[in-house]
Structure 1
Amino acid sequence: MGNVAKPRPGIPCVATCTGTNQLNYQKGFRYTYKYTTATNSFLQGSSHESSGVAIECLVNIDVLDKCHHMLTLKNTQIKGSMSNEVELLPGQEKLRSSLEKHPLQFSFQDGIIPEICPSDSEETWALNIKRGILSVLQDSYTVNKQKTVEEVDISGKCLSTYKVQGSLLVKFKNLNDCSLRSMAVTSLQSVALPNSASHQQILDSQLECTQSYKGGIIEMATCNESNVFRPFSKEGKGAKTEIVTTLKLLKMEEASPMPRVEQKTSQHSTLLFERESGKGKKTRYSSAEQVTDAVRQLCLTKGMTFESADLFMSLVFDLRGLSLGALRDLWQRALFKCRDNW
């Protein structure tokens, strides 16, 4: 289940092409954008006590043909923040290498991106980041001129409402009503229940994007996403996550020579978020005893640090891989043992 890249050997990444020409990306040209996205989680009313992660990179869009484009990333930096402290995440070189290693071919139908063609060896987490970048680039209004349209992107399958404000195109999504949002492992992703009232949703999530064009090319795009955890959000308080993303055109130039790509690919997918299957991955903690050791380390930690936050997040995910018997064993070992009685 989920949005897994499907093998379709010998099928071109772009089998068809729209006959419209609302946008003006030129074949043989490269468009370089600066991309930044920052996720910040905090308790409302005390935003100085927050944590987050940010990604900065250069995005090259090569126009191989009218409807056949390719994305590559360069100069990637991934930073973590805790309160007012910002630093590069551990393993920076490995993360950068994974993100920049594989170009991503995609179908660009005059603003709409219905299909992507990832490399067979592309890591899922890296592909999801590229899906997020392309989601900012997508525009379903310009070609259709419909104010409300169903879109598929990293957020799910959602109704998007478009509004033209002068030279700007504004897109709004009520993410509470999106489908196909239940595939993420993290706690903030949710899925709307059929016929459920808005007050029954655990998360109150909204997205607004603004795109500006020059000469039929996206010159600037900014997206602001807000996720509020409803159960603890009375009187303007509670847990909140904000995501601010920008994509700014730096230059366009003729690409000479054009990058060589496989005209026929074996993997086809969409912009929908893809959950990692976990197959073939090593579990960090293979026994309740090892997880107990992680609990001990957390108990000894004083204050919030990057290391303690990373250890806690790893512990949460690794607990999911334990059997029922191992969890019971862990409960007996770790019960009431954060009081210097190890």
Structure 2
Amino acid sequence: SCKVEIEVPQTCSFIVRTTGCSLSEVVNMDAEGNPVLGPAPGSAAFAAEMERYPLKVVVEGAYDVKLYPEDGETTTILNIKRGIISALAVPLLQEEKNKNMPTIHGKCKTYYTVNAREDIATDISLNRDLSRCDKFVPMRDHTSPLALISGMHYPLAQLVRSSQTCNYKFDNEKKHMTYGTCTENHILIPFSHKGEYGVTNVGKQELTLVQVSPHNERVFDHSDIVMGLHMESVVDKSVVQDKDAGLNLLRELANLPETEGEKRAHLFHKLVTMVRGMKTETLSPAIPEALAVSRVLTYQVLAQCGTPEC
């Protein structure tokens, strides 16, 4: 969770600050079976990264969103801020109901319904088929629990049904948003029943207006770095391209005595993580040696790895 401050120094120009952020994770279950949340490791570092730089945003015309991040902002943090801005984007209601709108997944055909109206529409729902957005490329995101599928060159978008529904409430008098929520639903079709139940991933964002205060600052200077609203893939620079380290780990796993079976899962996970970061020029020459160590383990690692290189 974060506190998001949006300053509006000029029309359609915004300065977004994200302060007081925290990361939580499930630490226990209560008597009713509900998850109990506690601070996640790295929460303080995450908060500092989110707060370090403001993000300047300019909307040109109706739907051209330009971001001006500061030099030094990481792609990971920028992607999280993109998600916040994406959730705040509401279509112009006087236009046709299936407008192509900018989102974190690129331009998406967006359908909307007005649920309540006073002088203005005060309750609006949106829905999108994310797999039809122009920058929705799940194939490169190696985060699927079914890594065998996530790395295939066949576009994963054909195997995953992804949708997003949002609901917004507006203040009739002051004409601004007071509440917004967006839910993304990703379902893996081959492992689903009737396209509904099975391997799913659900993400939900909630935005609640805390306060509005007048502000007289009119200065809006931005950096020369200009980016779009759609999410960018993150290159892991921490991965060491060392085939020998991978081969040594494979040998350790292959020679593990039965009495130390409890180490097997940890070593296998460590090996898969290492291989996932390898580029083709590191991985290719290692494969013949790996097959000589253990054919079975090598194929298991490659199947679990899930990157196009694997």
- Same fold per TM (> 0.5)? yes
Aligned equivalents of 2:64, 2:201: Cα separation in 1? 27
Aligned equivalents of 2:98, 2:54: Cα separation in 1? 32
Tell me by how many angstroms 1:179 deviates: 1.9
Q: Which runs of 5+ in 2 are unaligned?
A: 30-34, 117-121, 299-310
Q: Which residue of 2 aligns with 1:269?
A: 227
Alignment partner for residue 145 of structure 1, among 95, 101, 121? 95
More strand by share: 1
Q: Which residue of 2 aligns with 1:243?
A: 203
Aligned equivalents of 2:24, 2:279: Cα separation in 1? 27
- Shift in alpha-carbon separation, 1:242–1:210, aligned structure 2, 3 A: same
| Structure with larger Rg | 2
- Shift in alpha-carbon separation, 1:149–1:301, aligned structure 2, 3 A: farther
Tell me by how many angstroms 1:180 deviates: 1.6
Tell me by how many angstroms 1:104 deviates: 0.3
8 Å contact kept, 1:162–1:169: yes
Is 1:179 equivalent to 2:130 in the alignment? no
- 1:69 counterpart SS class: strand
Is 1:216 equivalent to 2:167 in the alignment? no
- 1:140 counterpart SS class: coil
Q: CA RMSD in A?
A: 3.7
Aligned equivalents of 1:140, 1:66: Cα separation in 2? 17
Tell me by how many angstroms 1:72 deviates: 0.9
Is 1:164 equivalent to 2:114 in the alignment? yes
- Amino acid of the structure 2 residue aligned with 1:269: M
- 1:98 counterpart SS class: helix
More helix by share: 2
Q: Which residue of 1 aligns with 2:307?
A: none
Matches within 5 A, 1:1-342: 56-81=1-26, 84=35, 86-108=37-59, 112=63, 114-142=65-93, 144-166=94-116, 167-182=122-137, 184-187=140-143, 201-214=158-171, 215-235=174-194, 236-255=196-215, 258=217, 263-278=221-236, 281-284=237-240, 286-290=242-246, 293=249, 296=253, 300=262, 314-315=273-274, 317-319=276-278, 322-333=282-293, 335=295
Considering Cα pairs closer than 8 Å and 6+ residues apart, tell me whether 1 or 2 has the greater RCO: 1
Q: Which runs of 5+ in 1 are unaligned?
A: 1-55
- 1:227 counterpart SS class: strand
- TM-score, with length taken from structure 1: 0.66
8 Å contact kept, 1:172–1:208: yes
Aligned pair count reads 268
- 2:70 counterpart SS class: coil
Identity %: 19
8 Å contact kept, 2:106–2:133: yes
- Shift in alpha-carbon separation, 1:293–1:259, aligned structure 2, 3 A: farther
- Amino acid of the structure 1 residue aligned with 2:124: L
1:290-333 C-alpha deviation (Å, 9 max, x unpaired): 47538849x74588xxx999958844632457431124434544
8 Å contact kept, 1:288–1:330: no
- Shift in alpha-carbon separation, 1:276–1:318, aligned structure 2, 3 A: same
Aligned equivalents of 2:97, 2:15: Cα separation in 1? 28
- Shift in alpha-carbon separation, 1:264–1:99, aligned structure 2, 3 A: closer
- Amino acid of the structure 1 residue aligned with 2:135: L
- Amino acid of the structure 1 residue aligned with 2:105: S
8 Å contact kept, 2:68–2:226: yes
1:201-243 C-alpha deviation (Å, 9 max, x unpaired): 2001111001111122111001111100011112554210001
Tell me by how many angstroms 1:119 deviates: 0.9
Q: Which range is displaced more, 203-212 or 105-114?
A: 105-114
- Amino acid of the structure 1 residue aligned with 2:211: K
